Chains A and B, each alone.
Chain A
């Protein structure tokens, strides 16, 4: 495996609560990404990072924020969770823009 750990792996929470998902890598890769996967869809990019404190929005960023204060950690925060954010969330890393992304095992998030 590419040295990516997502935590928690499963979480159930209530609408309106804040939620933070963590992605931790031991590969020292520059690029990190957060995706969500929903039934009938491929992976959709939420936010990405191209270095410490360098982040940008993906195609489905509304309702999400991210932070990257260290190379190894990329945090995804749902400030006030909604049921539409129930999904499987994947973190991915890559050393350069033209090499494959390697994925964590995913976090299954349920918002009731």
Chain B
């Protein structure tokens, strides 16, 4: 069974600094995708970044990068140059690509607060 663990319930970062949100996963499948979503206080779920299990390079999307360490089964999100608008809940998720219609498992989330 899939499992996602986010060990940081809450994180604080100073504006303009970088922050790393941790995510570890467990799966017996070889083919899977890892995703990060942002949920601001308004409640919508916003897709941020994706990493495939066979991708050799770490994914990047603007200020977001995913530090993928396959052997350690970790997929940490790095946000560079934090902004006040980055304050939100962040969820790590995994999909097993070839089975079960790609249903996702989500972690319990990390609440990030950016201080001015």
Which A residues are closer than 8 A to B by beta carbons? 31, 33, 35, 40-45, 48-50, 56, 58, 88, 90, 92, 94, 96-103, 105-106
Complex: how many Å from CA A42 to CA B52? 21
Q: Are A105 and B43 in contact (CB under 8 A)?
A: yes
Complex: how many Å from CA A103 to CA B47? 9
Q: Are B43 and A97 in contact (CB under 8 A)?
A: no
For the complex with contacts A97-B101, A98-B52, A98-B102, 5 further pairs of A-B residues with Cβ separation under 8 Å are: A35-B106, A48-B103, A97-B97, A97-B98, A106-B45
Complex: how many Å from CA A86 to CA B91? 21
Q: Which residues of B contact A43 (CB under 8 A)?
A: 45, 91, 93, 104, 106
Complex: how many Å from CA A97 to CA B98? 7
Q: Are A97 and B91 in contact (CB under 8 A)?
A: no
Which B residues are closer than 8 A to A by beta carbons? 4, 6, 31, 33, 35, 37, 43-45, 47, 50, 52, 91, 93, 95, 97-98, 100-109
A11 to chain B, nearest CB (A): 15
Complex: how many Å from CA A98 to CA B97? 5
7 shortest A-B CB distances, which residue pairs? A97-B102, A42-B106, A103-B45, A50-B101, A100-B47, A43-B106, A98-B97
Q: Which residues of A contact B37 (CB under 8 A)?
A: 103
Q: Are B103 and A58 in contact (CB under 8 A)?
A: yes
B32 to A, closest residue via Cβ: A98
